[in-house]
Structure formats: structure tokens, C-alpha cells
């Protein structure tokens, strides 16, 4: 009776800890072998560990658009967070002054062209009369100078006309490339001056990851043809376009490395934190499938066979990917563990009925 109560007390104490450790005797070994949870013999495997660094996403192409002419803002076509196609009109500025300047430039060109026609005609007449002695040498020189001067006046008037047209075009501010608006510095109705910032944005087509690399790992970057960038969602992107700086940053005495990302359908935003994974020297380690791991909070264990019994063995793990772990402590080569820990718990006979 005393032994029965002690056994019941022990079972209650075990269940209260939150862990259940099924024990299988030698007579039950055949039933264990027949269960769907097969045993895995631990072997050292060649494995390439990865060094992890914190990185951040930034846009390769980003710009702040400024006013190139003065005026009052008539219309704002885009706001912060809007996507903008290349060449789209971001805003419109009053154009009366610029239009008047264009009209004046066109009139000045017409006047210069008329004077040039007259000067060229007079120069041609003088060229015919001068050999006959009908005009003086001074008159001929004057006609020659007027001809050259009128041609230059036409060129100058043409240049002013081009400038006036560009100034008028500046009243409509266009997007330099397709992308997303990150800042708007003005409001409708404001008066802007030349050089005043209007919009800021970045191109969504080209992104890169940047991170700081300690000096001792520089050789790894030089020897790796590809580096993996892992996002918070768990998605990894490999890139071969790697640009490490050849000089050290003064603050941390580290190299800045830029990793240009390939085109992808994944939504990537500047400022997003990522993990940079660089392959280290390959070593032999124990790797087990994630299905063999039993978890309860921060506690991780496997079911290891010892003396024809399955015992729960705590292990220290480091995740390789979604399907496997590196065992840093708790197992040795030659150990046998259950491959499917969850199935084993569900199908094993419970002690105490």
C-alpha cells in the first residue's frame, strides 16, 4: 500500500512539471520498432556554418526633386506613400511669368532673324559692288561686321528661346524615375523659389543591403561568390553582386559592404532590417531533423535510445533552416534517436494508464 501511494505521488510530481518522459522496457522494444517513428543513428555530417550580421535595406536610386523655377503651386498630384510612374507630373507651378518670357524670346528671335536677313542682303550687294570701286573699303568692312554680328544675334536669340521654353517646362515638375514618394515638403498654394525641395522618393526596382563587416572576416567576403540576405519573413535571397569598401569606417573600424539585390517579386522596403549570412569554413557537425525535437517553452530535447530504453535527453540546438538543427550539446556520434518525437508521444503507452 505504501509503495502504491509512493508510485502515485511520483507520477503526479512528474506530470506537474509539464514534461512527460515515456519509458519503454526491453520487452516493449519490438513494439517501438514497429511504431511509425523510426530510429535515426547520429553521424557527423559535413556542414557549412554561416556567420550572421545585421544589415539594412536601402534604395540604390533615391532623389529629392527641387524647384527649377519660382512661382506658386497650383496643384499637387501625389502624396507620401504614392507610387509614381516615370515622367509623371508631380505638381504644377504658375506659368504666367514664364509664358511671358517665352513670348519675349520668340519676338527677339524674330527680330534678330529679320535684321540678319537685311544684313546678309547688304553684305551680298557690297560684295558685288566693291570690286567695281562703287563703295569704299570702310563701307565694305562695316557690311562684313554687320553680317557676322547679325548671325551671332540669331544664335543668341535661339539660346534665349530654348532657355525660355525650359523655364516654362519647369512649371510642371516631373518624376525622374518610377518609384514611391517618401516625403512632400510643400503644400498647395505655397510660393516656391529655385532650389527649394519639393518631393523625395526612391525607385522600387533597385534595392541593396548594407552592413558593417569586422576586419577579421574580410577574407570571407572576398572568397564567397554569393551572400544570402534573410528577411524577417524567413525568405532568403542570394546575391552575387557584392561591393565591399576598400577602406575602414572610422567609427567602428569595420568595412561597409553593399549587396545589390536581384529583381524579385518580394516587397522590399528601405530601412528594413535583415540578416546577412556569409558561408564560413566547412566543418563536421551533428545535424538532426526538426521533427526529432521535442519542445516545451525554452526546453528542447530528443528521445534517445539507451540500454534498450528511450529516454528524454535535453539538447542545445542552433537552427540551420526550417527543417534541421545543428546539435551543439547533448548528443554524440553513434546515438540513436526517434525521428518523429511528436508521433512517438502520441502513440506511446502512457505510464499509469
Does the pLDDT at position 2 exceed 70?
A: no
* Residue 159's pLDDT band (cuts 50, 70, 90): very high
* Residue 15's pLDDT band (cuts 50, 70, 90): very low
Segment 149-172 shows an average pLDDT of: 91
CB 39 within 8 A of CB 303: no
CB 168 within 8 A of CB 98: yes
Contacts of 142 (CB under 8 A, 6+ apart): none
What span, in angstroms and rounded, lies between the C-alpha atoms of 242 and 221? 8
Burial class (CB in 10 A: 0-12, 13-18, 19+), 47: middle
Q: Could you tell me what percent of the chain has a pLDDT over 70?
A: 88
Structure confidence at residue 25 (pLDDT): 35
Burial class (CB in 10 A: 0-12, 13-18, 19+), 315: buried
CB 248 within 8 A of CB 215: yes
Contacts of 276 (CB under 8 A, 6+ apart): 52, 53, 54, 55, 209, 211, 227, 228, 229, 230, 257, 259
What span, in angstroms and rounded, lies between the C-alpha atoms of 35 and 168? 83
Amino acid at each position: 500500500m505504501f509503495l502504491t501511494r509512493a508510485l502515485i505521488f511520483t507520477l503526479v510530481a512528474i506530470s506537474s512539471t509539464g514534461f512527460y518522459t515515456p519509458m519503454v522496457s526491453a520487452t516493449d522494444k519490438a513494439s517501438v520498432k514497429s511504431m511509425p517513428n523510426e530510429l535515426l543513428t547520429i553521424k557527423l555530417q559535413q556542414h557549412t556554418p554561416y556567420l550572421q550580421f545585421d544589415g539594412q535595406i536601402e534604395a540604390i536610386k533615391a532623389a529629392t526633386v527641387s524647384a527649377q523655377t519660382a512661382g506658386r503651386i497650383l496643384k499637387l498630384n501625389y502624396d507620401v506613400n504614392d507610387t509614381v510612374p516615370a515622367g509623371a507630373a508631380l505638381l504644377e507651378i504658375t506659368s504666367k511669368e514664364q509664358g511671358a518670357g517665352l513670348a519675349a524670346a520668340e519676338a527677339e528671335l524674330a527680330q534678330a532673324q529679320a535684321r540678319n536677313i537685311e544684313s546678309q542682303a547688304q553684305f551680298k550687294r557690297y560684295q558685288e559692288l566693291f570690286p567695281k570701286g562703287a563703295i569704299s573699303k570702310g563701307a565694305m568692312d562695316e557690311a562684313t561686321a554687320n553680317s557676322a554680328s547679325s548671325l551671332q544675334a540669331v544664335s543668341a536669340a535661339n539660346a534665349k528661346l530654348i532657355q525660355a521654353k525650359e523655364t516654362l517646362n519647369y512649371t510642371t515638375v516631373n518624376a525622374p524615375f518610377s518609384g514611391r514618394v517618401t516625403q512632400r515638403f510643400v503644400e498647395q498654394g505655397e510660393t516656391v523659389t529655385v532650389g527649394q525641395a519639393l518631393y523625395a522618393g526612391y525607385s522600387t526596382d533597385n534595392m541593396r543591403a548594407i552592413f558593417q563587416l569586422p576586419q577579421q572576416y574580410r577574407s570571407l567576403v572576398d572568397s564567397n561568390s554569393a551572400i544570402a540576405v534573410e528577411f524577417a519573413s524567413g525568405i532568403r535571397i542570394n546575391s552575387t553582386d557584392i561591393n565591399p569598401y576598400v577602406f575602414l569606417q572610422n567609427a567602428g573600424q569595420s568595412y561597409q559592404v553593399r549587396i545589390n539585390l536581384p529583381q524579385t517579386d518580394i516587397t522590399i522596403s528601405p530601412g528594413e532590417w535583415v540578416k546577412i549570412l556569409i558561408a564560413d569554413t566547412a566543418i563536421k557537425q551533428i545535424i538532426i531533423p526538426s521533427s526529432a525535437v521535442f519542445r516545451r517553452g525554452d526546453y528542447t530535447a530528443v528521445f534517445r535510445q539507451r540500454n534498450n530504453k528511450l529516454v528524454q535527453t535535453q539538447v542545445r540546438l542552433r537552427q540551420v533552416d526550417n527543417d534541421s538543427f545543428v546539435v551543439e550539446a547533448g548528443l554524440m556520434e553513434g546515438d540513436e534517436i526517434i525521428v518523429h518525437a511528436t508521433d512517438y508521444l502520441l502513440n506511446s503507452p502512457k505510464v499509469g494508464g
